[in-house]
Structure 1
Amino acid sequence: MVRGILMTGVCLMALAGAASAETVLNRGNDTDPATLDQQHTTTVSENRVLRDLYEGLLVQNEKGEAIPGAASSWDISEDGLIYTFHMRENAKWSNGDPVTAGDFEFTFHRIMDPKTAAGYASVLYAIKNAEEVATGKMPLDQLGVKALDDKTLQITLKNPAPYFLELLTHQTGFPLNRKAVEKFGGDKFTLPGNLVTNGAYTLVSFNPNDKISMKKNPNYWDASNVKIDAANWIPFEDRASCMRRFEAKEVDICSDVPAEQMDYVKKNLSGQFRLAPPYLGIYYIDIKGEPSSKLRDP
């Protein structure tokens, strides 16, 4: 969960008044998630949904800064290699079980297990032996992640990485409930009724090409500060469609707006238009040219 509201990219936002007993937020998304298994997700649209369901060791606040999540605090060794995380005493799964350091140990082992083929395992390659384990060169028990007890998780890095805490806000590292994964297996643990989450919301239903429905998780440790009772994620591969439903007051937030309608939006919906800073990233372009071309990839 993002504490406060952090909008990425361009969006339209209009929250209805709290006139009804239950506050429901209808949000437009670029598309349906291909999966709700966090270790197999790779897209922004999946990330948006998962942040409502799960909470990592750290989360992002409304400014995009990493702050305590499932871990209430942590210590870093003087050499910058050993991170010791202290789990929240009142952190619970949606089924009422406590969130433990063992849950995160299980999660990180699953991420790096070659059988999982996690789409973003490389995000956590800063962890000692992570790349070697993920590529099958070392066994799982050599991964630098260990639950010292139920409330203490130790992560050892291969080299100091001042940005490591920020990496832990990525969806790949969101925890899994081991009991649910082992009971239902495969992708079955992600189905409504099976999915056990530790975030602000729980999954009610997932109807492809229609919507994903969630309700407030009463067992979430910070539930008293969750003001929205229910949320629906509605897929809109056509951005203009979301805009039309936004203007009809059927959708409260559109994740993006069509570039060709930007002038219209700024003129007619300026009070509801939000433009966030652009994403920071690196794009690799594979260029195939003549053997003598200076632009040809080596």
Structure 2
Amino acid sequence: MKKVIALVLVILMSLSIFAGCQRDENDKGPIIKMYLGAYPTSLDPSIMQTDSDITKFLGLIFEPLTTIDEKGNVKPALAKSWYGQVDRIDGQYKMIFELNETKWSDGISVSADDIVYAWKRILQPETESPYASLLYPIKNAKNVKSGVMTSDDLGLVALGDLELEVTFETEYDINLFAETVACIGLVPLREVIVLKDESNWTSKSTSIVTNGPFKVQTLDYNSKIVLERSAYYRIGKDDAFNKYVTPYKIIIEYKTNSGNGAAYQESQYDEGNLYYLGDFSKEGYEKYKSNLEIQNMLSSYTYFFNTTNELLSDAKVRQALSIALDRTEIANIVGRGVVPATGYVPHGVFDTNNKTEFRTVGGNLISTTANLEQAKTLLKEAGVNSGSFSITYKKSNFDSIEQTVAEYAKSVWEELGFTVTLNEQSGINYTNALSLREFDVIALDIMGNTTDAFGFLAPFAKFYSGCKVSIDIEADAFTPHYSGLQDNDYDALIDSVVYVSDRTQRAQVLHDAEKMLIELMPATALYFNVESYVKSSDLSNIKSSYFGYRILNKTTLKDYMTINSIIEAENNAVTESEVTSEQ
């Protein structure tokens, strides 16, 4: 009898536990309202991005081969392992990546061929991508980009669905290359998806396909973005739907208070309608300062000079314009924790390893205070005492910081005798101004998306700009950097380091390159961006990449079932209202 009673008790307890484990069929996971950053100009990860906020979105919807954690350590991502080998037949140095099994957001398996396509696309002469030079350690990559060879000659091949082979130009450190491929610009892409409409494949939620933890459900220009858990990210046949990604949806709305996006987002956060705030007004930053999470973003706000402009063609004129600016004053104007630039390469970039920083070792190459007298001396040496030019900057619905910085620069440069006009542009007009070099001075966020200083410095050299190349059958083809800089000595310095993977030797050459770049002054960094955010105490399990974007795979929200019901009720009300208005 005791055995029977014991058995009954075990059964009852098992049923109780089973019942407790049953998932509410309506429980799809948290729906989290947050503000990540500015509405992205494009979600094509391979192309030139001019706003540091875009990385915050790309890091949620795409996954590169590797990732770099907050401490600077390389970790597996799409690739679960990698190793180097020397081919016994031809002696070539190779690297093999073994991939995790996962699928695109439309359910098609991600394969090594998708990496091959994405990297070949970056290296096509007609592609404009700042990440081309990061791939130059691959055999024949540089010649493919310049049109001397075709993509068939590239040392890159899929050995199978889940195995990628890279052949290097020469002996190369696989650990350095593992760091390189953590770049969010080097993620896989599906050829059939991109080629349907290469210029616009990421402009609609119905056309963009991604391999990261979230897919794009809604893209409503400058109004709303909704990211939804990818039903296929890493999921095996018997896995729970939320095994790898907890949140169901991430909702980002773009509204303003009388044209002020920052005021709207901050008020929504204060009222408890947002649970995460990833950008702030200057005043908002100070208000939330004690609760902020802050890290380097490996990004700088920079002015490019058009060196083909007659007035700006002399390096002394460009140096004068640079040293006339008080970067401490600019950082005070911007607020939000930005750091006055002291060189071209920002904080956070590695020097000889992930424990040493390039900027710290390189020291201060740019003064953070202005020197108008020295600027005037340089202009006198250049024989320039007047002239007209414009500053082009990007329009923002969030705040007017870029305009305010441009107004400051205008006032300083007019003290030197110049006539300066401001040129605010948005969308395709701004992008075209940069790509076609239709500017005198243009402002943009520089994002190397790499821990290697080479990625910041190389694009100024011939063959390394990543700009579109028009093939010339008579000579090696190249297109200069956006600034138009052409300098043989600088080119030679970058050429000398592209295949060097000894960290100490590489760092020394890159420090020399940065010093030379400061003398040539095709661009001047004004301040280094930082990534900061404030979150509700109800939001937990947020992690970060070394590059400053959030990892929300396991993020959860207290009482989210109640919050989900409220959000869905609001959405239903809006839908009904739209239907009624249409009738």
What TM-score, normalized to structure 1?
0.79
Note if 1:100 corresponds to 2:107: no
Note if 1:187 corresponds to 2:182: no
Structure 1 residues 265 and 230: alpha-carbon distance in aligned structure 2, compared to 1, 3 A threshold: same
Q: Contact between 2:234 and 2:244, CA under 8 Å: does it hold in 1?
A: no
Note if 1:120 corresponds to 2:131: yes
Structure 1 residues 211 and 91: alpha-carbon distance in aligned structure 2, compared to 1, 3 A threshold: same
Deviations 1:240-267 (A, max 9, x none): 443222112222222233344444323x
Deviations 1:50-81 (A, max 9, x none): 11111111124454532111211111236994
The one-letter code matched in structure 1 to 2:148 is: K
Note if 1:136 corresponds to 2:144: no
Report deviation, 1:103: 1.0
State which of 182, 202, 208 in structure 2 corresponds to 1:169. Answer: 182
What TM-score, normalized to structure 2?
0.43
CA distance in 1 between counterparts of 2:119 and 2:298 reads 26
Deviates more, 1:275-284 or 1:109-118: 275-284
CA distance in 2 between counterparts of 1:119 and 1:240 reads 34
Identity %: 24
Report deviation, 1:173: 0.7
CA distance in 1 between counterparts of 2:297 and 2:202 reads 34
- Secondary structure at the aligned position of 1:48 is classed as helix
Note if 1:297 corresponds to 2:520: yes
Deviates more, 1:42-51 or 1:202-211: 42-51
- Secondary structure at the aligned position of 2:34 is classed as strand
- Secondary structure at the aligned position of 1:74 is classed as strand
Deviations 1:5-47 (A, max 9, x none): xxxxxxxxxxxxxxx9441222323311111111124242221
Deviates more, 1:273-282 or 1:218-227: 273-282
State which of 77, 98, 116 in structure 2 corresponds to 1:86. Answer: 98
Other-structure match for 1:258 = 281
CA distance in 2 between counterparts of 1:278 and 1:58 reads 18
Other-structure match for 1:276 = 295
Other-structure match for 2:159 = 148
CA distance in 1 between counterparts of 2:267 and 2:72 reads 30
Q: Contact between 1:53 and 1:198, CA under 8 Å: does it hold in 2?
A: yes
Deviates more, 1:213-222 or 1:114-123: 114-123
Other-structure match for 1:11 = none
Note if 1:27 corresponds to 2:250: no
Note if 1:213 corresponds to 2:226: yes
Structure with a larger share of its residues in helix: 2
Q: Contact between 1:121 and 1:172, CA under 8 Å: does it hold in 2?
A: no
State which of 180, 199, 212 in structure 2 corresponds to 1:199. Answer: 212
Q: Contact between 2:269 and 2:275, CA under 8 Å: does it hold in 1?
A: yes
Structure of greater relative contact order (alpha carbons < 8 Å, 6+ residues apart) = 1
Other-structure match for 2:494 = none
Deviations 1:137-192 (A, max 9, x none): 32222222111222211112335244221221212111111222234443235521
Q: Contact between 1:29 and 1:234, CA under 8 Å: does it hold in 2?
A: no
Report deviation, 1:97: 1.7
CA distance in 2 between counterparts of 1:94 and 1:131 reads 32
Structure 1 residues 256 and 85: alpha-carbon distance in aligned structure 2, compared to 1, 3 A threshold: same
Other-structure match for 1:40 = 47
CA distance in 1 between counterparts of 2:214 and 2:268 reads 24
The one-letter code matched in structure 2 to 1:30 is: G
CA distance in 1 between counterparts of 2:254 and 2:137 reads 34
Q: Contact between 1:30 and 1:235, CA under 8 Å: does it hold in 2?
A: no
The one-letter code matched in structure 2 to 1:66 is: V
CA distance in 1 between counterparts of 2:221 and 2:301 reads 31
Report deviation, 1:86: 0.9
State which of 229, 247, 260 in structure 1 corresponds to 2:270. Answer: 247
Q: Contact between 1:216 and 1:230, CA under 8 Å: does it hold in 2?
A: yes
Deviations 1:193-247 (A, max 9, x none): 2222111111111111112111111110065121111112345885444322211
CA distance in 2 between counterparts of 1:277 and 1:185 reads 33
Deviations 1:118-143 (A, max 9, x none): 23323333333323322323222222
Structure 1 residues 80 and 53: alpha-carbon distance in aligned structure 2, compared to 1, 3 A threshold: farther
- Secondary structure at the aligned position of 2:81 is classed as strand
Deviates more, 1:203-212 or 1:256-265: 256-265
Q: State the aligned residue count.
A: 273
- Secondary structure at the aligned position of 2:113 is classed as helix
- Secondary structure at the aligned position of 1:179 is classed as helix
- Secondary structure at the aligned position of 2:117 is classed as helix
Structure 1 residues 33 and 152: alpha-carbon distance in aligned structure 2, compared to 1, 3 A threshold: same
Other-structure match for 1:287 = 319
Q: Contact between 2:131 and 2:186, CA under 8 Å: does it hold in 1?
A: no
Structure 1 residues 80 and 246: alpha-carbon distance in aligned structure 2, compared to 1, 3 A threshold: farther
The one-letter code matched in structure 1 to 2:215 is: T
CA distance in 1 between counterparts of 2:302 and 2:167 reads 30
Note if 1:57 corresponds to 2:65: yes
Q: Contact between 2:42 and 2:202, CA under 8 Å: does it hold in 1?
A: no
Report deviation, 1:297: 3.1
Structure 1 residues 129 and 216: alpha-carbon distance in aligned structure 2, compared to 1, 3 A threshold: same
Q: Contact between 1:180 and 1:189, CA under 8 Å: does it hold in 2?
A: no
The one-letter code matched in structure 2 to 1:186 is: S
Instruction: Give the greater-gyration-radius structure (CA).
Output: 2
CA distance in 2 between counterparts of 1:284 and 1:195 reads 32
Could you list the runs of 5+ residues in structure 1 that have no partner in the other structure? Answer: 1-19
Structure 1 residues 189 and 208: alpha-carbon distance in aligned structure 2, compared to 1, 3 A threshold: closer
Report deviation, 1:109: 0.4
Other-structure match for 1:73 = 81
Could you list the runs of 5+ residues in structure 2 that have no partner in the other structure? Answer: 1-25, 236-241, 305-317, 321-377, 383-517, 522-583
Other-structure match for 1:14 = none
